[in-house]
């Protein structure tokens, strides 16, 4: 079992139930899904786009789906239907394994990392983190990487407020600034 899932069941549920005075265990917030995105709108070379897709698939353990432009925007030089990014939605066991690697390995390896700012949370308790270099993940071997790109990780929870979401992720071991 994943470290984060085990910590959620043994530590987070009782702590959150006591802190927010939930009457039922099912009312305690939980993580629903994790969405990992990477934009490739500026990348013209098809080989580099393929590298982004393969790297994203290796990091998440799931195939990265291409996302196409819904509108043509001249100032961004995008056409209708052009691939502008890749996305992966993780749920269940893969989600918890990815979160273990993110919290335990990738975030501490990030350059000048001082914790996740509280402003990264939206009003509904969801967290969005930007990772500037994908090479912080253990699946990426430093010598083989010639092209570095950034990605965005969104953690969607059932929390109703920002405070509930922050408390949930803090209890799971996320390094959130106070």
pLDDT for position 30: 94
Specify the number of domains making up the chain: 1
**Could you list the residue range(s) of the whole structural domain that residue 72 is in?**
30-161
pLDDT for position 143: 60
Crossing angle of the two packed helices 46-60 and 92-101, in degrees rounded to 10: 100
pLDDT for position 7: 93
* Domain presence at residue 134: yes
pLDDT for position 9: 93
**CATH number of the structural domain spanning residue 79:** 3.30.1440.10
Among candidate residues 35, 50, 51, 49, the one with its CA nearest the CA of residue 129: 35
* Domain presence at residue 18: no
pLDDT for position 153: 95
pLDDT tens, residue order, the chain (178 aa): 789 999 999 999 999 999 999 999 999 999 999 999 998 877 778 888 888 899 899 999 999 999 998 999 888 888 898 888 999 999 999 999 999 999 998 888 888 888 899 999 998 989 999 998 888 888 887 666 778 888 999 999 999 999 999 999 999 999 998 7
* Domain presence at residue 175: no
* Domain presence at residue 7: no
* Domain presence at residue 169: no
* Domain presence at residue 65: yes
* Cα dihedral across residues 53, 56, 60, 65: positive or negative: negative
Q: Are 28 and 15 in contact (CB under 8 A)?
A: no
pLDDT for position 100: 92
* Domain presence at residue 116: yes
DSSP codes joined into one string, the chain: --HHHHHIIIIIHHHHHHHHT-SSGGGS--EEEEEEEEE-TT---HHHHHHHHHHHHHHHTSPPEEEE-SS-BGGGTB-TT-EEEEEEEE-HHHHHHHHHHIIIIIHHHSTT---B-GGGB-TTS-EEEEES-GGGSTTS-TTT------EEEEEEE--SSHHHHHHHHHHTT--B--
pLDDT for position 142: 66
* Domain presence at residue 130: yes
Structure tokens that stand for 126 in this block: 């969801």
pLDDT for position 134: 87
Among candidate residues 1, 16, 2, 4, the one with its CA nearest the CA of residue 174: 4
Structure tokens that stand for 114 in this block: 């001082």
């Amino acid at each position: 079992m994943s470290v984060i899932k085990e910590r959620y069941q043994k530590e987070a549920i009782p702590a959150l139930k006591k802190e927010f005075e939930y009457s039922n265990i099912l009312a305690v917030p939980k993580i629903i899904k994790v969405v990992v995105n990477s934009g490739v709108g500026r990348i013209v070379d098809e080989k580099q786009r393929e590298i982004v897709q393969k790297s994203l698939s290796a990091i998440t353990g799931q195939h990265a789906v291409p996302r196409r432009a819904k509108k043509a925007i001249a100032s961004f030089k995008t056409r209708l239907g052009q691939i502008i990014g890749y996305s992966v939605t993780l749920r269940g066991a893969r989600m918890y394994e990815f979160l273990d690697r993110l919290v335990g390995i990738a975030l501490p390896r990030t350059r000048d990392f001082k914790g996740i700012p509280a402003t990264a949370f939206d009003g509904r308790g969801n967290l969005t983190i930007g990772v500037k270099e994908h090479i912080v993940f253990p699946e990426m071997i430093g010598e083989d990487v010639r092209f570095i790109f950034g990605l965005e990780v969104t953690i969607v929870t059932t929390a109703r407020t920002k405070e509930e979401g922050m408390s949930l992720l803090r209890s799971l071991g996320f390094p959130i600034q106070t």
